[in-house]
């Protein structure tokens, strides 16, 4: 079998020749074709400025004017913070649109504090998750409420945080939330601290928990249940499990796919990861409450494949009915996050689940004649156009210019399934 899609790529927001890379995210609000687009400019790794938003009532044909939004700031006690919408989904049970927010507080200036963490392993960042809902397709929202998996003081999004608030209910969040046939909303969240006990040894790892929301018609709000933790030792993933993507399989099971890493940040764990770069997954047969042991995602033939520590995406297409996986598959073992190319799409064999090897199709790749050697094809948002059935993807090709990785354009990809 050959390629399963045709790919069209065009510049969507051009870089202006400086070290400020445009970053674009687009999403539907509600069950119709109302869209929201967010634009910011990345000025350092994981740190963006000049956040703005606009909306479209006609599926992107026309847009409102840009409005600035507060994406970063400083608390009264001098901590830097950033607040970013991560996942959005529409619930057919309640008719509400749910949005999940990521809030990060940092000791020190934002960009510098992030780099200090990755350089030294010192905890300079404290992450928390929130949810809110809208009954009018995102025109107005309820107050954000914190998602919690443990007892402790609640941290409001506008609070000046205490150390106890910072250290309670820490989690990074996920980019996916889905409604299920059971009538629930599932939101997987990563970066959840967990004390893993195996073979008489203990180690603190970052795992994943799923939040299971159910609409309460009487209270006109959601009640939230929390799954058991999903985790692996540092020998499997040096940075724990991160950036989960989730889908409901045709037989009703939930398929959770996650990012791992061949390297560790914490000094005490460096050099102790022995597993090569893989994609990791778990399956739930009870609506997301309990999960199978984590194992590596493979081709349906049983063959293993390599993948760097990068984001991936599961997407079910309304017209083909098939489930698709998008991510990076590399021919050689990766080293941590690199290389972040090529980027591929493949059909999921839901009986496994596994990837159908004969459907792996390249969306974009590194071209040495034009691209910088540190090209990253890994930071994107994607969804199905509800009118055309095309898959839209928005991705900044960080590193495409050899002079500096932030001299990069944001592109729109149109993926037409064959």
SS (H, E, C) 250-263: CCCCEEEEEECCCC
Does residue 136 belong to any structural domain of this protein? yes
Helix (H/G/I), strand (E/B), else coil: 344: strand
Helix (H/G/I), strand (E/B), else coil: 122: coil
Range of the domain at 76: 70-83+91-170
Counting the structural domains of the chain, the total is 2
- Are residues 208 and 134 located together in one domain of the fold? no
- Are residues 227 and 315 located together in one domain of the fold? yes
- Are residues 277 and 346 located together in one domain of the fold? yes
- Are residues 266 and 128 located together in one domain of the fold? no
d(CA 284, CA 13): 40
Instruction: Report phi then psi at 355, rounded to 5.
Output: -100, 140
The 10 Å Cβ neighbour count of residue 159 is 15
- Are residues 182 and 95 located together in one domain of the fold? no
Does residue 228 belong to any structural domain of this protein? yes
- Are residues 195 and 328 located together in one domain of the fold? yes
- Are residues 254 and 292 located together in one domain of the fold? yes
Per-residue model confidence as pLDDT tens for the chain (418 residues): 679 999 999 999 999 999 999 999 999 999 999 999 999 999 999 999 999 999 999 999 999 999 999 999 999 999 999 999 999 999 999 999 999 999 999 998 889 999 999 899 899 999 999 999 999 999 999 999 999 999 999 999 999 999 999 999 999 989 999 999 999 999 999 999 999 998 788 999 999 999 999 999 999 999 999 999 999 999 999 999 999 999 999 999 999 999 999 999 988 898 899 999 999 999 999 999 999 999 999 999 999 999 999 999 999 999 999 999 999 999 999 999 999 999 999 999 999 999 999 999 999 999 999 999 999 999 999 999 999 999 999 999 999 999 999 999 999 999 999 9
Does residue 230 belong to any structural domain of this protein? yes
**CATH number of the CATH domain containing 240:** 2.120.10.10
- Are residues 156 and 300 located together in one domain of the fold? no
Instruction: Report phi then psi at 386, rounded to 5.
Output: -75, -10
Of 170, 186, 210, which residue constitutes the final position of a domain?
Answer: 170
- Are residues 126 and 217 located together in one domain of the fold? no
Of 105, 137, 170, which residue constitutes the final position of a domain?
Answer: 170
- Are residues 203 and 157 located together in one domain of the fold? no
Of 114, 136, 170, which residue constitutes the final position of a domain?
Answer: 170
Identify the H or E element spanning 39: strand 35-44
Question: What is the Cα Rg of the chain in Å?
Answer: 20
């Amino acid at each position: 079998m050959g390629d399963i899609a045709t790919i069209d790529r065009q510049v969507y927001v051009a870089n202006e020749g400086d070290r400020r890379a445009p970053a674009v995210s687009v999403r539907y609000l509600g069950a119709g074709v109302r869209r929201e687009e967010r634009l910011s400019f990345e000025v350092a790794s994981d740190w963006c400025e000049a956040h703005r938003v606009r909306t479209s009532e006609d599926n992107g044909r026309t847009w409102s004017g840009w409005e600035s939004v507060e994406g970063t700031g400083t608390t009264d006690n001098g901590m830097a913070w950033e607040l970013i919408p991560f996942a959005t989904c529409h619930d057919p049970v309640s008719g509400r649109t749910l949005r999940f927010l990521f809030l990060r507080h940092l000791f020190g200036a934002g960009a510098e504090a992030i780099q200090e963490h990755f350089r030294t392993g010192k905890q300079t960042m404290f992450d928390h998750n929130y949810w809110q809902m809208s009954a009018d397709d995102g025109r107005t929202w309820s107050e954000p409420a914190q998602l919690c998996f443990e007892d402790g003081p609640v941290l409001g999004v506008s609070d000046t945080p205490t150390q106890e608030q910072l250290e309670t209910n820490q989690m990074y969040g996920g980019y996916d939330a889905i409604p299920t046939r059971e009538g629930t909303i599932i939101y997987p969240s990563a970066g959840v601290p967990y004390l893993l006990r195996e073979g008489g040894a203990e180690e603190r790892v970052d795992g994943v928990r799923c939040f299971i929301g159910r609409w309460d018609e009487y209270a006109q709000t959601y009640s939230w249940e929390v799954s058991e933790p999903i985790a692996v030792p540092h020998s499997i993933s040096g940075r724990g499990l991160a950036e989960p993507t989730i889908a409901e399989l045709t037989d009703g099971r939930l398929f959770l796919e996650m990012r791992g890493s061949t390297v560790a940040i914490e000094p005490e764990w460096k050099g102790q990861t022995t597993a090569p770069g893989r994609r990791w997954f778990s399956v739930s047969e009870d609506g997301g409450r309990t999960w199978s042991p984590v194992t590596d995602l493979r081709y349906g033939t049983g063959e293993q494949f390599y993948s760097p520590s990068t984001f991936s995406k599961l997407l079910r297409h309304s017209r083909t009915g098939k489930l698709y996986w998008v991510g990076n598959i590399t021919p050689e073992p990766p080293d941590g996050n690199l290389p972040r190319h090529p980027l591929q799409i493949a059909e999921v064999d839901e009986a496994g689940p596994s990837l159908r090897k004969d459907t792996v199709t390249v969306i974009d790749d590194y071209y040495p004649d034009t691209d910088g050697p540190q090209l990253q094809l890994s930071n994107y948002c994607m969804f199905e156009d509800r009118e055309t059935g095309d898959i839209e993807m928005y991705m900044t090709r960080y590193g495409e210019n050899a002079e500096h990785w932030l001299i990069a354009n944001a592109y729109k990809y149109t993926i037409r399934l064959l």
